[in-house]
Structure 1
Amino acid sequence: MKAGVLNVDKPVGASSFAVVRRLRELTSARRVGHAGTLDPLASGVLPILFESATRLSDLAHQLPKTYDAAVHLGFRSATDDAEAELEPGGSTAGLNQVQIAQSLRQFVGAIQQEPPAFSAVKVEGRRAYRRAREGRPARPPAREVQIHSAELLEFGPGPPAVAMVRVVCASGVYLRSLARDLGEKLGCGGYLGALVRSAYGPLKVADAVQLERLLDRAALEARLLPSEVLLPEMPLVRLTVEQEAQVRQGRAVRVLPEPGPGLLRAHDESGRLVALGHADLLRRTFVPDKVLG
Structure 2
Amino acid sequence: MNDQLLSQNSELRTQNSSRTHGLLNIAKPAGVSSRHVVTQLEHALKPLAVGHAGTLDPMATGVLVVGVGRGTKLIDYLHRFPKTYRASFLLGRSSDTEDITGNVTMLTDARAPSRAELDAAVPMFLGTIQQQPPAFSALKVAGKRAYKLARKGKKVELNARPVDVHRLEITRYEYPELQAEIECSSGTYIRSLGRDLARAVGSEAAMSVLSRTVIGPFLLSQAVAPEQINKDNLLEHLLPSLLAVGAMQRTPLSEQQVAELTATGVLFDLPLEATQFASDAEVAGIAPDGRLFAVLTPSRGDRWKVKVLVGAGGPPTADES
In the TM superposition, 1:198-213 aligns within 5 A as: 198-213=213-228
| Partners of 2:166 and 2:183 within 8 A in 1 | yes
**Partner deviation per Cα, 1:259-284 (whole Å, 9 max, x = no partner):** 8744111111112221111357953x
In the TM superposition, 1:95-106 aligns within 5 A as: 95-96=114-115, 98-106=116-124
Q: For the pair shown, which has the larger CA radius of gyration, 1 or 2?
A: 2
Report sequence identity in percent: 34
Q: Does 1:273 pair with 2:292?
A: yes
Q: What corresponds to 1:165 in structure 2?
A: 180
Paired AA for residue 205 in structure 2: G
Distance in 2, matches of 1:288 and 1:131, equals 40
Task: Give the C-alpha shift of residue 151 in structure 1.
Answer: 1.4
Distance in 1, matches of 2:74 and 2:103, equals 40
Paired AA for residue 263 in structure 1: E
Q: Does 1:13 pair with 2:7?
A: no
**Partner deviation per Cα, 1:33-56 (whole Å, 9 max, x = no partner):** 001211111000000101111111
The structure with the greater share of residues assigned to strand is 1
Q: What corresponds to 1:59 in structure 2?
A: 77
The structure with the greater share of residues assigned to helix is 2
Distance in 2, matches of 1:30 and 1:217, equals 10
Q: What corresponds to 1:239 in structure 2?
A: 253
| Partners of 1:105 and 1:151 within 8 A in 2 | no
Distance in 2, matches of 1:255 and 1:84, equals 55
Q: What corresponds to 2:158 in structure 1?
A: 140
In the TM superposition, 1:44-123 aligns within 5 A as: 44-89=62-107, 90-96=109-115, 98-123=116-141
Moved more, 32-41 or 141-150: 141-150
Secondary structure at 2:157's aligned position in 1?
Answer: coil
Change (3 A) 1:132 1:257: closer
Paired AA for residue 75 in structure 1: R
Task: Give the C-alpha shift of residue 237 in structure 1.
Answer: 1.2
1:230 to 219, 244, 258: 244
Stretches of structure 2 that go unaligned for 5 or more consecutive residues are: 1-16, 312-321
Q: Does 1:217 pair with 2:231?
A: yes
Change (3 A) 1:45 1:212: same
2:43 to 19, 22, 25: 25
| Partners of 1:43 and 1:197 within 8 A in 2 | yes
Q: TM-score, normalised by structure 2?
A: 0.83
**Partner deviation per Cα, 1:158-198 (whole Å, 9 max, x = no partner):** xxx21111111111111111111111111111111100011
